[in-house]
């Protein structure tokens, strides 16, 4: 049983959020801490001027509310929202908070994943703890 579980959450339509949540419920110790982490990718400097000023704060508020709603479905869970590159930010957060398990959803790889690498594969290769990939 795991005591500190990290679940990176992506709200992309092709990602299944329920499978990692269910698995966390099965693998967690009774007093386990579960963190639902969402990374907001930074908007490139050349594009930021085209984004309405209130859009970013509204998006952050909406995503945090969604994370908090998901967190209510698991005991001792909390939603955390950070900003950065998804793969690197997940690994940095994990290094500083020491989870003993990361449960991450994956999608069917395509040509883009072969060239760039997916977030899940980056986490699997570089995490300092156990990683469970759910498809």
3-state SS, 3-63, equals EEEEEECCCCCCCCCHHHHHHHHHHEEEEEEEEEEEEECCCCHHHHCCCCHHHHHHHHHHH
Query: What integer pLDDT is reported at residue 117 of this predicted model?
Result: 53
The whole-angstrom separation of Cα 46 and Cα 78 is 34
Lowest mean pLDDT among 21-25, 41-45, 102-106, 112-116: 112-116
Mean pLDDT, the chain, rounded, equals 90
**How far does the chain reach from its first CA to its final CA, in angstroms?**
21
Mean pLDDT of 34-39: 98
Query: What integer pLDDT is reported at residue 108 of this predicted model?
Result: 63
As a whole number of Å, the CA-based R_g of the chain is 15
Query: What integer pLDDT is reported at residue 109 of this predicted model?
Result: 62
Q: Model confidence at 111, in pLDDT bands (50, 70, 90)? A: low
Query: What integer pLDDT is reported at residue 110 of this predicted model?
Result: 61
**More confident: 116 or 131:** 131
Residue 18 CA neighbour count, 13 Å, CB half: 1
Query: What integer pLDDT is reported at residue 13 of this predicted model?
Result: 76
> φ and ψ at 19, to 5 degrees?
-65, -50
Q: Model confidence at 116, in pLDDT bands (50, 70, 90)? A: very low
Domains of the chain in start order, with CATH, are 2-134 (3.40.50.620)
pTM score of the predicted model: 0.90
Q: Tens of pLDDT along 62-92?
A: 999 999 999 999 999 999 999 999 999 999 9
């Amino acid at each position: 049983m795991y005591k500190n579980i990290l679940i990176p959450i992506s709200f992309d339509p092709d990602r299944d959020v329920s499978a990692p949540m269910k698995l966390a419920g099965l693998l967690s110790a009774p007093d386990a801490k579960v963190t639902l982490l969402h990374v907001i990718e930074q908007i490139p400097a050349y594009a930021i001027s085209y984004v309405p000023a209130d859009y970013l704060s509204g998006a952050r508020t909406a995503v945090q509310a969604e994370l908090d709603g998901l967190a209510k479905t698991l005991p001792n869970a909390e939603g955390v929202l950070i900003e950065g590159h998804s793969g690197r930010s997940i690994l940095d957060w994990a290094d500083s908070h020491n989870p003993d398990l990361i449960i991450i959803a994956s999608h069917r790889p395509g040509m883009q994943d072969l060239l760039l690498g997916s977030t899940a594969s980056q986490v699997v290769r570089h995490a300092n703890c156990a990683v469970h990939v759910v498809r």
